[in-house]
Chain A
Amino acid sequence: MIAEYGLFALIMALITACGLTAIPMWASFAGNGAGMNAARPLAAANFTFVAISFALLTTAFLQDDFSLVVVANNSNSLLPAFYKFSAVWGNHEGSMLLWILVLCAWTFAVALFSADLPQIMYARVLSVMGAIGVGFIGFSLFTSNPFARNLPDVPLDGKDLNPLLQDPGLIIHPPVLYMGYVGFSVAFAFAIAALLGGRLDAAWARWSRPWTNAAWAFLTLGIMLGSWWAYYELGWGGWWFWDPVENASFMPWLAGTALVHSLAVTEKRGVFKSWTVLLAIASFSLSLLGTFLVRSGVLTSVHAFAADPERGMYILVFLLVVVGGSLVLYALRAPAVNSGIRNAWLSRETLLLFNNVVFLVATLTVLFGTLFPLLMDALGQGKYSVGPPYFNAVFVPLMALLVPVMGIGPFTRWREDRAKRWMHPAWVSAVSALIAGALLPFLGQGFNVWVALSVLLAVWIIAGLWTDLRLKKAGSHAWWPVLRRQSASYWGMMFAHLGFAMCIISVTVVTQWNVEKDLRMSPGQTADLAGYRFEFHGASAITGPNFRGDEGVVTVTVDGRRVAELRPQKRQYVASGQIMTEAAIDAGFTRDLYVAMGEALGQDGAWSVRLHYKPLVRWMWIGATLIGFGGFITLLDRRYRRVSVAARQSPEELAHA
């Protein structure tokens, strides 16, 4: 019966979502206060029903209810319990339900924390989010019902979860990623509500900014977790593959990064309003586009869900309604006139505008590259592939363009600045960046022009942040009061930019200095790699809960001193027969040592083994975590916790604008 209750809860969720869409929106135009007030309880009810539905699906997985198609296809009685839990979203139907759960959680969160918003604003915001909920709950019910039964032939056991997904990373990666992906719906809903009200102002920017920053921070962490997971789970040491599915989550991140910056301008200076609102629509639209690309099968990807044109058609129609509709609304209602607010060539506005241009170009480039094979195919021009060599070649220089501006952005003034004011410290930054670039590579494997360049860029960013603190301290004697005076938003920016600098160094160093060897190793044989001596001690059979396999033992020494013992595995899963490589990694702050096993060769116990030395690879995930952490810090800013003065004063004015 669990499945039927789950289905019933999902149907109730659809009904409440319909109510949430229709009633507050109607009331906001009719001026009906009770109708608008209904938005909060409806959002709460909607969330509750979805949560019940999700909990029941999870129960079905934990109880091995193989009468459910999704459970039978994606779980197995031998599967460890925590993987049964993550198996809920290791498939199309369940992950869609997770999508919906996250969406309704965001909706509910907006309902909870919207006490300071004018009634008409929160009514419309929640209504727009309800409409998105209708679309996706409908999608789940009509095309991908997670509660479909396998009747009357209930299988005795399930086909098992794809072994690639049997990993702790997969327990947290999808929920965090979806928190980000779906979180942009809040920024989107605020944008639509503001367009409907015809009032895009600093108050709107201030309301939507913490939500946008939170979603963006989640998305950053989600992408980071995905990359980390791919690195240790796929068994060949890569961390970013420019696969269409990765690009699908990366494009909203790029647009979202532009949005996070342009919201700052709109909030502080009341300019770039049309542009900011367009970015808010674009970020969420790209999330939806990503959902379409992942689930429709129009592109080939290693991670795509089973292709189904019917589902693709549903999402496409939904995209047309949501994205097409909002862009038409944008074209009709966004302010077309110049705000008349002045800013000079050298001003923080201009620098942030440049940031936006670069991120927009990067988004369009990734979009164009991802869809290019589809475009050529649609035009009958044949089959093409666009892969990492292309994306790296165009993306890296684009990101490098940001850096010169990042080094002066933090201390450039709004409205108008004169370079004379900071010319001296900027020269100091530039010289220290040059010196660091020339010298620091010698700490590694010697001078390398790309590593030198990356150090130069990273130090320029960090020196810029430092210069800013120095300028802020000018005139006062003690550091502490100066540091204390800075807002949470400011510290968020510091962390995020610092993280970006770390990523630049990491990506370059690991690309340039990565050492990789594929070897045949028999027991007792050693191999030297970047100063480390790897010794293979043979492999022995192992048995896991739902797999059998071999485990090799490799010890690593430096000058006879033992550094690590690594135990890579080669597994065969019982239910599916799939073979998996479990790499063994000795993680370190300055380097990772990575060992993966290929095949057993011959009779003497020899195996083909892949050894990797990956310098600074961890900095990438530390850097990305800092970026996401910076996003979360901004939420602590006192500005966002206070009632917006303008909003309190004139709800009526807002209503009739």
Chain B
Amino acid sequence: MRRLVLFIPVGIFLGLAVLLYRGLSLDPTELPSALIGRSVPEFRLRALGQDHYLTEQALSGRTSLLNVWGTWCPTCVAEHPYLMALAEQGVDIVGLNYKDTDAKALAWLERLGNPYREVISDPQGSFGLDLGVYGAPETYVIDARGIVRYRHVGEVNERTWAGELGAAYREALQ
């Protein structure tokens, strides 16, 4: 009976080993959005290159993608053609021009094309902060009620659209 007590350490160790094994297939740097299942935070920012203001209302009424981009972000250039293609397929995309200058952003859209229904201009990054953005590009799926359904960090391309991002969008459509 006393001998059984001596098996406690090996029991604890095995539990630890299972945890470490599980840990190998987890990514500690991946951070899910805290906003999933919640409404888009309130904001009031100018539309890029225009005089009117946009609010969270601009993101409700229909399922859309909110794409965070900036001209300083090389991956944003890489994903741009795919966003153009998505827009042509009828996907509603709203841009969030994050920590950028209007002049550069407008020139960029001029040159590469504009896939966005609206572009929110956020030069200070204040809306980005409320969204919990930590880099660019990031793409959020927002449903018709203005609820954040999914966040994708990194490039949008055929592969990611065929994966969880696209699935989240299609699910939000229903």
Does chain A touch chain B in the assembled complex, meaning CB atoms less than 8 Å apart?
Answer: yes
Binding site for B on A (CB under 8 A): 274, 278, 281-282, 285, 289, 292, 296-300, 309, 312-313, 316, 319-320, 323-324, 327-328, 330-331, 334, 336-337, 371, 373-375, 377-378, 382-383
Check A316–B21 contact: CB distance below 8 A. yes
Pick the interface stretch among B24-32, B73-81, B151-159.
B24-32
Q: Which of A285, A320, A331 contacts B3 (CB 8 A)?
A: A331
Q: Determine how close the nearest CB of chain A comes to the CB of B31; give it in whole angstroms.
A: 6
Inter-subunit contact B26/A377 (CB<8 Å) = yes
Q: From residue A315, how far is it (CB to closest CB) to chain B in Å? A: 9
Please tell me if B90 contacts chain A, counting CB pairs below 8 Å: no
Determine the chain B residues whose CB is within 8 A of the CB of A319 once the complex forms.
17, 20
12 A-B interface contacts by CB (under 8 A): A274-B6, A296-B20, A298-B28, A316-B20, A319-B17, A320-B17, A331-B7, A331-B10, A374-B23, A374-B28, A377-B23, A377-B26
B residues sitting closer than 8 Å to A (CB atoms) are: 2-3, 5-7, 9-10, 13-14, 16-17, 19-26, 28-29, 31-32
User: Nearest 10 CB-CB pairs, A to B?
Assistant: A298-B23, A327-B10, A336-B2, A378-B22, A331-B6, A331-B7, A336-B3, A300-B28, A312-B24, A374-B23
Contact A373 B28 (CB under 8 A): yes
Closest to B8 in A: A331
| Contact among A299, A323, A331 for B28, CB-based, below 8 A | A299
Residues of B within 8 A of A337 (CB): 2
| Known A-B contacts A296-B23, A371-B19; A383 and B32 likewise in contact (beta carbons under 8 Å) | yes
Residue numbers in B under 8 Å from A292 (CB-CB): 20
Cα A296 to Cα B25 with chains together (Å): 10
Q: Given contacts A312-B24, A320-B17, A374-B19, could you give 4 more A-B pairs where the C-beta distance is less than 8 Å?
A: A278-B9, A324-B13, A371-B19, A374-B28
Give the CA-CA distance A312 to B20 in the complex, in Å: 9
Q: Which residues of A contact B25 (CB under 8 A)?
A: 309
CB-nearest residue of chain B relative to A285? B13
Query: How far, in whole Å, are A562 and B156 apart by their CA atoms in the complex?
Result: 61
For the complex, what is the distance from the CA of A636 to the CA of B162, rounded to whole Å?
Answer: 69
How far apart are the CA atoms of A465 and B77 in the complex, in Å?
70
Chain A hits for B24, CB < 8 A: 296, 298, 309, 312-313, 316
| CB-based nearest B residue for A373 | B28
Q: Are B2 and A378 in touch, CB under 8 angstroms?
A: no
A332 to B167, CA, bound (A): 53
B7: nearest residue on chain A (CB-CB)?
Answer: A331
CA distance A297 to B29 in the complex (A): 10
Chain A residues with Cβ under 8 A from B28's Cβ? 297-300, 373-374, 377
Chain B residues, Cβ within 8 Å of A313 = 24
State the CA gap A278–B8 with chains docked (Å): 11
CA separation between A382 and B32, bound complex, in Å?
A: 8
Residues of B within 8 A of A377 (CB): 23, 26, 28
Inter-chain contacts of A298 with B (CB < 8 A): 20, 23-24, 26, 28
Q: Which residues of B contact A371 (CB under 8 A)?
A: 16, 19
Query: Nearest Cβ in chain B — how far from A387, in angstroms?
Result: 14
B13 / chain A contacts, CB cutoff of 8 Å: 285, 323-324, 327
**Contact of B19 with A324 in the complex, beta carbons under 8 Å:** no
Q: Which residue of A lies closest to B23 (CB)?
A: A298
Partner of A378, one of B9, B10, B23: B23
Closest to A292 in B: B20
B23 touches A330 (CB 8 A): no
Contact A324 B20 (CB under 8 A): no
Q: Are A375 and B21 in contact (CB under 8 A)?
A: no
Residue of A nearest to B29 (CB): A300
**What is the minimal beta-carbon distance from B33 to any residue of chain A, in angstroms?**
11
Q: How far is the CA of A278 from the CA of B5 in the complex (A)?
A: 12
Name the residue of chain B whose CB is nearest to the CB of A337.
B2
Q: For B2, what are the chain A residues with a Cβ–Cβ distance below 8 Å?
A: 336-337
In angstroms, Cα B13 to Cα A285, docked, is: 10
Q: Which residue of B lies closest to A377 (CB)?
A: B26
The listed residue (B6, B21, B22, B32) touching A336 by CB distance below 8 A is: B6
Bound Cα distance A312, B24 (Å):
7
Looking at A298, A320, A374, A383, the one whose CB has the most chain B CB atoms below 10 A away is A298
**Complexed CA–CA distance, A313 and B6 (Å):** 28
User: For residue B6, which residues in chain A have a CB less than 8 angstroms away from its CB?
Assistant: 274, 330-331, 334, 336
Q: Which residues of B contact A320 (CB under 8 A)?
A: 17
Beta-carbon contact of B3 and A316 below 8 Å: no
Closest chain B residue to A313, Cβ basis: B24
How far, in Å, is B153 (CB) from chain A's closest CB? Answer: 13
Q: Smallest Cβ distance from B70 to chain A, in angstroms?
A: 21
CB-CB under 8 A from B32, the residues of chain A are: 382-383
Q: How far is the CB of A178 from the nearest CB of chain B, in Å?
A: 22
Closest CB of chain B to A472's CB: distance in Å?
39
B5, B9, B17: residue with the most chain A Cβ atoms closer than 10 Å: B9
Query: In angstroms, how far is the closest chain B Cβ from the Cβ of A119?
Result: 29
- With both beta carbons as reference points, the residue of chain B lying nearest to A301 in the complex is identified as B28
Question: Given contacts A331-B3, A337-B2, is CB(A383)–CB(B10) below 8 Å?
Answer: no
